[in-house]
């Protein structure tokens, strides 16, 4: 159980992004972001906002809402358990991460012009931020499950409501795919646009409430999520390299693969 949990701690946070960006290249995502900044997806976002509100009024989300409220406490307990496991192995995990990051940084400095170099920079930046803001990341996950109870900070409740609203919009997209109203690729695209809008709304809301501890935590978690995006965009290629689906094409890829595999094996050995 500990072995599985340690693996999930490192990987679960990528799941949503891998789902959204599995068919989006880095170049395509850059274009998508620019179109989003220019407001080209406003009608699409308004449509999903309207559908989510309509379906909620019609009771089409009743089953989800019931399970969402019931699962809040369970999710909070699970996140707390994961946090305790990380604390239990904190010294060992910090040593493994430090050695891995130091080795990867050496490769980045030694081979600055390889195609994989930027990917490694992105990985280093993401993992350093996630380690720095680990409490904020855990808090944000609890917000997403509606599991935060902060009577003295009403902003937390408003954040949970914002996250729930965007969750409902994402569920509408999934339903549209299941009903064959849109195909999978269009569904991924729509969820990506909704995720960008979620980030914009949350960031704007939190920056308007600097006095709120919940808002401060949320801003830190959003910074981690943004650092995750380029990692998610390249995750499939990296995974193929690590599991041997493709062979390394140069010395940087070969050494990076060995470093990442070695760190993974060391983490797994902590359960024995």
pLDDT in tens, 211-230: 999 999 999 999 999 898 88
Tens of pLDDT, residue by residue over 28-63, are 778 888 999 999 999 999 999 999 999 999 999 988
Check residue 20 and give its pLDDT. 53
Range of the domain at 64: 2-269
What average pLDDT does the segment 97-110 reach?
Answer: 96
What average pLDDT does the segment 91-108 reach?
Answer: 93
Rounded to an integer, what distance in angstroms lies between the CA atom of residue 193 and that of residue 272?
43
Tokens encoding 168: 């409902």
Number of structural domains (the chain) is 1
Residue 93 C-alpha from the chain's centroid? 21
DSSP 14: G
Rounded to an integer, what distance in angstroms lies between the CA atom of residue 64 and that of residue 95?
41
pTM, two decimals, is 0.79
Higher pLDDT, 27 or 48: 48
The full 3-state SS of 16-68, as one line of letters, equals HHHHHHCCCCHHHHHHHHHHHHCCCCHHHHHHHHHHHHHHHHHCCCHHHHHHH
Q: What is the dihedral of CA 264, 241, 224, 160, to 10 degrees?
A: -90
Residue 5 C-alpha from the chain's centroid? 17
Which of 12-26, 39-53, 220-234, 254-268 has the weakest average pLDDT?
12-26
Check residue 83 and give its pLDDT. 72
What is the helix (H) or strand (E) element at residue 201, kind and residue range? helix 184-207
For 216-253, b/e burial (b = at least 16 CB within 10 A) is: bbbbbbbbbbebbbbbbbbbeebeebeeeeeeeeeebb
């Amino acid at each position: 159980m500990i072995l599985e949990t340690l693996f999930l701690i490192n990987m679960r946070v990528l799941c949503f992004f891998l789902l959204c960006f599995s068919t989006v290249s880095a170049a395509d995502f850059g274009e998508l972001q620019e179109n989003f900044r220019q407001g080209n997806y406003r009608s699409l976002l308004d449509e999903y906002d309207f559908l989510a509100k309509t379906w909620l009024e019609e009771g089409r989300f009743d089953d989800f809402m019931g399970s969402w409220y019931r699962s809040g406490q369970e999710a909070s307990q699970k996140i707390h358990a994961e946090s305790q496991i990380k604390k239990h192995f904190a010294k060992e995990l910090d040593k493994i991460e430090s050695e891995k990051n130091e080795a990867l940084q050496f490769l980045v400095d030694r081979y600055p012009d390889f195609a994989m170099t930027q990917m490694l920079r992105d990985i280093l930046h993401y993992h350093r931020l996630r380690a720095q803001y680990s409490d904020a990341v855990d808090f944000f996950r609890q917000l997403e499950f509606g599991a935060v109870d902060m009577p003295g900070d009403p902003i937390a409740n408003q954040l949970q409501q914002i996250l729930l609203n965007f969750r409902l919009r994402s569920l509408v997209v999934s339903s549209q795919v299941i009903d064959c109203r849109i195909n999978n690729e269009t569904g991924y695209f729509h969820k990506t646009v909704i995720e960008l809008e979620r980030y914009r709304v949350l960031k704007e809301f939190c920056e308007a409430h600097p006095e709120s501890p919940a808002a401060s935590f949320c801003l830190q978690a959003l910074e981690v999520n943004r650092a995750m995006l380029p990692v998610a965009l390249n995750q499939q290629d990296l995974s193929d390299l690590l599991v041997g689906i493709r062979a390394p094409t140069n010395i940087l890829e070969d050494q990076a693969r060995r470093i990442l595999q070695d760190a993974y094996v060391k983490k797994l050995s902590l359960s024995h």
